[in-house]
With several copies, the nearest count.
Chain A
Amino acid sequence: MAKLDLVKPNNGSQEEATPRHRALGLRDEDVRAMYRTMVLTRLLDERMWLLNRAGKIPFVVSCKGQEGSQIGAAFALDPTRDYVAPYYRDFGVVLHFGMSARDIMLSAYAKAEDPNSGGRQMPGHFSSRAHHILSGSSPVSTQIPHAVGMALAARMRGEKLVTYTSFGEGSSNQGDFHEAANFAGVHKLPVIFFCENNLYAISIPQDRQLGCAHVADRAIGYGMPGVLVDGNDVLAVYEAVSQAVLRGLNGDGPTLIEAVSYRINPHSSDDDDRSYRTREEVEEAKRNDALEVFRAELIGCGVWTEDDEVALREELRSVVDEATEYAQKAPLAEPESTLDHVYAK
C-alpha cells in the first residue's frame, strides 16, 4: 500500500472552544443529521450483510468504512437542486438524497416496488428521478460522463446546480473517467468528480492499480483542482466538497476530490478477501472507522451524548426492522413484466 500523505483542507479554527463544524457553518442539528444518516447507512449495510449470510437475499455490496466520505460529500450538496450519478457503494449519498430504508430493502429483496429498478438490477444500482439520482449500471465509470452531460444540460437551460459523480480508485483508470473529466475541464462544467479511494479494487491494492501516488494528481491533467482528503474525516470531506460546490456554482468549473478510506468488508457478498489482505490490516482500518471518529468528535464538542446514541440506535434499528419486514413481504414482479419498458409505449 502506498503511503498516503493527506493534505487536509482548512480545518477551521483550531481553538478548543469552537467546534470544527461551526467553523464550517454547520449547525449542531446539521451534524446530528449527518451522524444520523451515517448510522442509518451502517445499520442498513450490516443488516443486508446478515440477510445475505442467512440466505435471505442473493447479493449485497457494502459501503462499510466509506460512510465518512459519502456523508461528508452528500451533505455539501443540495438534494433539491443538484443531481447525482453515484456508484454502487454510495448508500450514504442516496439516503441523504431521499431514498428511504424501505427503498433500499426493496431493492435488496428485488421486489416489484423497488423504486430503483423494480428488482431488475442488483442492490447498489441506485436510481430515482424524483430524488435526482441518475440510474447507474454495473460496468464501472460509465456514470462519469453522464454527470458531465447533466451539468452541460443544466447550463444550457440556465439552471444553477452542480452534479456529483463517484467512483472507486480502480475505476479512475477507465477511459470514461479521463474522457469525461477532460470534457468537463474544457467546458468548465460544474461537476464534482468524487473518488472514493478504499485502497482496493476487489483484490488489487492501489499500488498495482494506479501508476500515480494519488488519484487527485490526475486533476491537473484536466485543468481542475485536485483535492486529497481523509475520507474518515467527515467534516474535512464536507469542507472539500462544499468548496467544489461553490466553484461549480460560480462558474469556475469542475473539481476532482479523492477521499481516502478503507473497504472494511470484502468487495461484495460473493468475495472472500482473505486471499489478498491480512486480517491485521482490516482490524487496523476498523480503528479509523469514520463513524467512531465522528461520534467521538460530536461527543467531544458536546452535541452528542451516550443517551442520544442509545436512542438513535434504537430508533434506527426499528426503521431497519420495519423496512426489512416490509420488503420481505412485498410482492415480486410478474414474470411477464420482463417484456415491459424496452421502449416507450
Chain B
Amino acid sequence: MAVKLYIDAIREAMQEEMRQNPNVFVLGEDVGLRGGVFRVTQGMIEEFGPERVLDTPLAESAIVGVAIGAAAYGMCPIAEIQFADFIMPAVNQIISEAAKLRYRTQGDWHCPLVIRAPYGGGVHGALYHSQSVEALFYHVPGLKIVTPATAADAKGLLRAALRDPDPVLFFEHKGMYRAIRDDVPEGDYTVPIGKARVVREGDDLTVITYGLMVHHALTAAGQLAADGISTHLIDLRSILPLDRETIVEAARRTGKVLIVHEDNKTGGIGAEVSAIIAEEALFDLDAPIARLCGPDVPAMPFSAPLEAFYMLNPTKIEDAMRKLAAF
C-alpha cells in the first residue's frame, strides 16, 4: 500500500492496463503532448506513443462515435471528455449507440468502451465547467456509471471498467484530483462495479452519498460523533447499477436516511435512492427520507459567493444530519 493522489491513481490504472492489454488506448482533446487539461494523461504519450494516446479534433460526438466503432471492432477505448459539461454533444452516441449496441444485436456486437469525464464544482469553473451530469445517464439501461470518491476506488473501478464488456461512464470529481489522497493497494486489484462501500458504520442515522460529498459527510459525521450521534455512511461508488442491497440494509439499520449530492435535487440520483427505500424499507423508517442537494438552478455560477451558496459543505451536511438525528 502506498498513499497516492486521486489523479495519479486514475493515470496508473490506465497505464497498467495499457501495458497489459494492447487493445486499450486513450483518445480525446489535448490528451497527448498537453497530457490533458488536468494532466490526467501526463507522460502517457511519451510511454505509449501518439497512436495510443490519441489527440482528436474538437468534436465530442466523433470522439465517442469513433470510440464506439473501435470498441465494436475489438479495442477497449478510453474516451476522455475534457469536462463533463461537454459530454452533451455526445449524448446521441452514448444513449442511442453505446447503450443499445448489445441489446439490438442480442450480444452479436458489444461495446467495451470507457468514457472518462471530470465533473463537479467548487473550483471556480462557472456554469459550464462545474456540472454534475450523472443524472442524465442513470435512466439509461445498457450503461454503467461509476464515480469513485477515493484514490483506491478510482484505480480499482477504472480497472474494472476497462475489463467490463459494456460501456462504462467514469466520472471523476475534478475537485478531488489533487485534494484527495489515500492508500492504494498494490497489484492487480479491481473494485466491482455495482457495489457500494460502507465508509463508516453507525446506528443513529444513515447518510448515502457519492463523490466529493463522501468526504464532506465524513467530516460531518466526525462532528456528530463528538456529540454521541453515530452515523452510518454509504459511498455509492456506482450510480448505475445502484447497490440496492446495501442501500436498503442501511435504511433498515438506522431508520433515518439522508441522501446527499452535489448535483441539483429534482430528478437526481437521490430520487431513485429514496424511491428504492420507500419501496423496500418503508416500515423501517423513523423519519421522512431527506435529501440534501444542490439547488434546482441551471448550473453553478462563477461568482464566489454564489458558488459557495450552491455547493454543499461539511457544515451544511452536518446541519441536515443533526436535524434528521433529532427528528
A and B: interacting chains: yes
Q: Once the chains bind, are A138 and B92 in contact (CB under 8 Å)?
A: no
Residues of A within 8 A of B71 (CB): 149
Stretch at the interface among B81-89, B114-122, B209-217, B231-239: B81-89
Residues of A within 8 A of B58 (CB): 140, 170-171, 173-174, 201, 204, 209
Stretch at the interface among A177-185, A253-261, A299-307: A177-185
Q: Is A129 an interface residue (CB 8 A)?
A: yes
**Beta-carbon contacts of A329-341 to B below 8 Å, as 1s and 0s?**
0001111111111
Residues of A within 8 A of B107 (CB): 341, 344
| Nearest-neighbor residue (CB-CB) of B83 within chain A | A138
Q: Is B2 an interface residue (CB 8 A)?
A: no
Our pick among B34, B85, B298 for the contact of A276 (Cβ within 8 Å) is B34
Q: Is B16 an interface residue (CB 8 A)?
A: no
Distance of A337 Cα from B308 Cα, bound (Å): 12
Q: Is B93 an interface residue (CB 8 A)?
A: yes
Q: Is A314 an interface residue (CB 8 A)?
A: no
Q: Is A85 an interface residue (CB 8 A)?
A: yes
Q: Once the chains bind, are A150 and B69 in contact (CB under 8 Å)?
A: yes
| Nearest-neighbor residue (CB-CB) of A209 within chain B | B57
Q: Is B225 an interface residue (CB 8 A)?
A: no
Q: Once the chains bind, are B88 and A139 in contact (CB under 8 Å)?
A: yes
Distance of A79 Cα from B261 Cα, bound (Å): 45
Q: Is A175 an interface residue (CB 8 A)?
A: yes
Q: Once the chains bind, are B66 and A338 in contact (CB under 8 Å)?
A: no
Given contacts A156-B25, A173-B58, A336-B309, contact A149 B86 (CB under 8 A): no
Our pick among A125, A163, A174, A275 for the contact of B59 (Cβ within 8 Å) is A174
Residues of B within 8 A of A116 (CB): 105
Q: Once the chains bind, are B51 and A156 in contact (CB under 8 Å)?
A: yes
Q: Is B302 an interface residue (CB 8 A)?
A: yes
Q: Is A203 an interface residue (CB 8 A)?
A: yes
Q: Once the chains bind, are A333 and B303 in contact (CB under 8 Å)?
A: yes
Residues of B within 8 A of A85 (CB): 69
Distance of A43 Cα from B92 Cα, bound (Å): 35
Distance of A98 Cα from B305 Cα, bound (Å): 28
The number of residues on chain A lying at the interface, defined by a beta carbon within 8 Å of a beta carbon of chain B, is 75
Q: Once the chains bind, are B110 and A137 in contact (CB under 8 Å)?
A: no
Q: Once the chains bind, are B35 and A338 in contact (CB under 8 Å)?
A: no
Q: Once the chains bind, are A341 and B103 in contact (CB under 8 Å)?
A: yes
- Residues 116-152 of B contacting A (Cβ, < 8 Å): 124, 126-129, 141-142, 144
Given contacts A149-B72, A204-B58, A341-B102, contact A120 B88 (CB under 8 A): no
Q: Once the chains bind, are B109 and A275 in contact (CB under 8 Å)?
A: no
Minimum distance in angstroms from A190 CB to a CB of chain B: 13
Distance of A298 Cα from B236 Cα, bound (Å): 65
Given contacts A173-B57, A203-B55, A344-B165, contact A138 B34 (CB under 8 A): no
Q: Is B1 an interface residue (CB 8 A)?
A: no
Residues of B within 8 A of A336 (CB): 309
Q: Once the chains bind, are B34 and A120 in contact (CB under 8 Å)?
A: no
Residues of A within 8 A of B89 (CB): 139, 174-176
Distance of A33 Cα from B321 Cα, bound (Å): 61
Minimum distance in angstroms from B327 CB to a CB of chain A: 26
Q: Is B100 an interface residue (CB 8 A)?
A: yes
Q: Is A208 an interface residue (CB 8 A)?
A: yes
Distance of A128 Cα from B306 Cα, bound (Å): 21
Distance of A176 Cα from B92 Cα, bound (Å): 10
Residue in B77, B107, B298 with the greatest tally of chain A CB atoms within 10 Å: B107
Distance of A271 Cα from B258 Cα, bound (Å): 40
Minimum distance in angstroms from B81 CB to a CB of chain A: 11
**Beta-carbon contacts of B45-72 to A below 8 Å, as 1s and 0s?**
0000001100111110110111111111
Q: Once the chains bind, are B57 and A137 in contact (CB under 8 Å)?
A: no
Q: Is B96 an interface residue (CB 8 A)?
A: yes
Residues of B within 8 A of A271 (CB): 37
Residues of A within 8 A of B106 (CB): 117-118, 120, 340-341
Q: Once the chains bind, are A344 and B302 in contact (CB under 8 Å)?
A: no
- Residues 39-98 of A contacting B (Cβ, < 8 Å): 58-59, 83, 85
Q: Is B180 an interface residue (CB 8 A)?
A: no
Q: Once the chains bind, are A145 and B302 in contact (CB under 8 Å)?
A: no
Q: Is B304 an interface residue (CB 8 A)?
A: yes
Q: Once the chains bind, are B103 and A342 in contact (CB under 8 Å)?
A: yes
Q: Is B301 an interface residue (CB 8 A)?
A: yes
Q: Once the chains bind, are A117 and B105 in contact (CB under 8 Å)?
A: yes
Residues of A within 8 A of B189 (CB): none
Q: Is A308 an interface residue (CB 8 A)?
A: no
Q: Once the chains bind, are B61 and A145 in contact (CB under 8 Å)?
A: yes
| Nearest-neighbor residue (CB-CB) of B126 within chain A | A122
Q: Once the chains bind, are A183 and B72 in contact (CB under 8 Å)?
A: no
Distance of A190 Cα from B74 Cα, bound (Å): 17
Q: Once the chains bind, are A203 and B34 in contact (CB under 8 Å)?
A: yes
Q: Once the chains bind, are A153 and B57 in contact (CB under 8 Å)?
A: no
**Beta-carbon contacts of A220-264 to B below 8 Å, as 1s and 0s?**
000000000000000000000000000000000000000000000
Distance of A117 Cα from B128 Cα, bound (Å): 13
Residues of A within 8 A of B298 (CB): 342
Distance of A260 Cα from B183 Cα, bound (Å): 50
Q: Is A186 an interface residue (CB 8 A)?
A: yes
Distance of A87 Cα from B298 Cα, bound (Å): 21
Q: Once the chains bind, are A335 and B66 in contact (CB under 8 Å)?
A: no
Contacts A121-B302, A147-B69, A335-B305 known; list 18 others, CB within 8 Å: A85-B69, A111-B303, A118-B303, A120-B303, A135-B105, A138-B128, A145-B66, A149-B70, A151-B69, A171-B58, A176-B92, A176-B93, A203-B33, A332-B303, A332-B304, A335-B306, A335-B308, A340-B106
Sample 13 A-B pairs with CB under 8 A, ordered by A number: A120-B302, A121-B301, A135-B108, A139-B92, A140-B58, A146-B65, A146-B66, A146-B97, A148-B69, A151-B69, A152-B69, A174-B89, A186-B57
Closest 5 pairs between A and B when the two form their complex, measured CB to CB? A149-B69, A145-B65, A138-B128, A146-B69, A179-B62
